[in-house]
Chains A and B, each alone.
Chain A
Amino acid sequence: MTAIERKFRNTGKLLSTSLLAAGMLAMPQAAFADGYKIGVVEQQLANPFFGKLQAAAVQRAKELGLSTMTAESTVAGDAASQVNGIENMINQGVKGIVLDPGSASALVPIVKKARAAGIIVVTTNTSLEPPTAADASYETDNFAAGVLIGQWAKAKIGANPRVTLIDYDLSDKTSKARHDGFLKGFGLSETSKEIAGTALTQANVDGGQQAMENLIAAHPDINVAYTINEPAAQGAALATKRAGKKVVFTSIDGSCSGVRSVVDGTIGATVMQFPSNMGRLAVDAIDKAVKTGEKPTGVNNSGTVLITDQPVAGIESKDSKWGLANCWGE
């Protein structure tokens, strides 16, 4: 306890000194705000999605003539490293922080502290709980993404749909939003009789495969599937292929591997999300706030595009060629 208090006190002291120093230094330069520093806090960079997001934010900052400092969590959900990173950034006198929160709640106190120190905090990819804990957020509207593939699947399959949903932990915000969006787009509820069965996976290839093997054994008439992400779709498609069944797969992410699965017909349609948009939009918002005083607000959609080579009337989509040119990761 005391150690933590001491740490905070020290941070506070450092903070006030550095703010004072920054204020004195900044005074003669106040006419032009260029060249200030921002922080970019990401989740574990082993995930190419986060890597792409961070690279885009740093690149955009460079274009605007800003310097950056970065920090990352080491594993999924590791908020502690992010808290340390933000503390360092506050000490360094950054004017804005782009944050991809590893936890919706654990980062709220440190973000509050940063904002109290006059720092603009913009979240990317996912927001805090409540979202207003940060100034603004730029993220994929996962519900809207789910609606898109739901609508597409309904139009594609026509009469007599037999639906399965291959999920990831539904207490996860993203997972739940995608799931609910798909049902909405397809015009289903949790209890609709068109749903043959559902399964929970780790959102990876082998999980998708095993889930679909079991589902198709029980319900050989399944003809359309929602999947939480593209690896799960690829695994599930392996199962239906081996069982000699034809199932229309839908997914969300827009990784390059996923788009290639759209090219070869394994996945019927996927929704691309845009990590680089998130990073760029977040930095632009911070820059605007610093230069004009106009702070960003709200949860803003960083873009969702339906990628399919089988377009249906009334639903806007791009083909897989466009998808390959705009995808992220390997």
Chain B
Amino acid sequence: MISSPKSGPDLSGGGDAPRAESWRQAVTNAVAQPVTGPLLALVVIMAVFSLTTTTFLNVGNLSLIFQQSVVIGTLALGQTLVILVAGIDLACAAIMVLATVVIGSVAMQGNVALAFGLGALACLAVAALNGIAVTRFRLPPFIATLGMLTIVTAGARLYTNSRSYPISSDWLMLMGSGPSYGLITFSYGSMLWIALTLALSYALTQTAWGTHVYAVGNSPGAARLNGIYVNRVIFSVYTLAGLFYFLAAWQALGRTPIADPSGYQAANLDSITAVVIGGSSLFGGRGGVAGTFIGTLIVTVLKNGLTQAGIDSLYQQIGTGILVILAVGWDQYFRSGRQS
């Protein structure tokens, strides 16, 4: 972290040279942190919306932004894992939607526990299939999951005959509820999102498995030479991502208590956008869930703020696109700067 602010920018005093040096070093380090870029972007965007609209900066709206981030945020956690091993999952939201309609349809028969279990099973099974396609059959992740996206989307529509299922079970809607204080709601869904972010951050930075994930993402060849079972790690990553998609499905039902096979079409790419804006590298091995957390908030804040500012939705999409490019550019600039 940045050292004492007292050592401030007044760098002319010769006697302070070592301290100034360490201050500069600290700033350089902070800027080079992958999280710094996204965080700065988030602050700037929020400042702009706060100044240009009268409604953005109030606790009710900030609480709303959090609620709106939860589903994409949880999907993006799974997506981060996949991207860290240099993969990509184009089907994440489709898998989540499959789980919601399985849960919705089975719960209609009255057995909520069975519905919940089958939803989890569906997510894990499809995600594991992705893992098998990528590891055993060596398909490029882009192709494997693109195929899965089509299959799962059509499968969900066939399964439901394109109807949607209203959800009435309190357990299934749990993630949408939670204590609220005035305009602020702390939904269980957002608590779960934060808890999952912390847990995954711990797993990635403090466990051997986490080290292996980064190692495989950096260089599968080198990882293999170091005795890491590369395919096993990649398979574990895709399957674990399925667990996140399932939890995202639970959160989605809490937020919108209708299991709709045509829902969340934009979420597949939104989750990737969140991960990329959050500073993880699509080439694998670099990044993490803290950045993804912020990236998710950026994606939601943009939609929320631009709608409130009355900006045409097409400009919103252009704005998001520019941000993706800027985020990657920023990251690239500092990374290459540090390496050279």
Contacts and interface: CB of A to CB of B under 8 A. Distances in A.
B164 interface: yes
Given A214-B307, A218-B55, A206 B260 contact: yes
B265 A202 contact: yes
A204 B265 contact: yes
Interface in B220-274: 252, 255-258, 260, 262-266
A183 B65 CA distance: 30
Interface in A201-234: 202, 204-207, 209-211, 213-215, 217-219, 231, 234
B260 A218 contact: no
B263 A204 contact: yes
Contacts, number: 90
B12 interface: no
Contacts of A209: 255-256
A219 B54 CA distance: 10
B162 A210 contact: no
Contacts of A330: 161-164
B154 A206 contact: no
A235 interface: yes
A259 B219 CA distance: 57
Interface residues of B, number: 36
A47 to B, nearest CB: 6
B263 A48 contact: no
Contact of A213 (B64, B161, B164): B64
A238 B307 contact: no
Interface size bracket, A side: 20 to 34
Nearest to B252: A206
A46 interface: yes
A207 B264 CA distance: 8
B25 interface: no
B60 interface: yes
B308 interface: yes
A75 B157 CA distance: 11
Contact of A234 (B60, B61, B161, B258): B258
Given A217-B61, A231-B164, A238-B256, A210 B68 contact: yes
Interface of B: 53, 55-56, 60-61, 64, 68, 150, 154, 157-158, 161-164, 252, 255-258, 260, 262-266, 303-304, 307-310, 312-314, 316
Given A46-B158, A200-B312, A206-B260, 11 more contacts: A197-B307, A197-B310, A200-B314, A200-B316, A202-B265, A204-B260, A211-B307, A214-B64, A234-B258, A329-B162, A330-B162
26 contacts: A46-B157, A46-B161, A47-B157, A48-B161, A75-B150, A197-B308, A197-B310, A200-B314, A200-B316, A206-B252, A206-B256, A206-B263, A209-B255, A210-B68, A211-B307, A214-B308, A215-B308, A217-B64, A218-B53, A218-B307, A231-B262, A235-B258, A257-B163, A330-B161, A330-B162, A330-B163
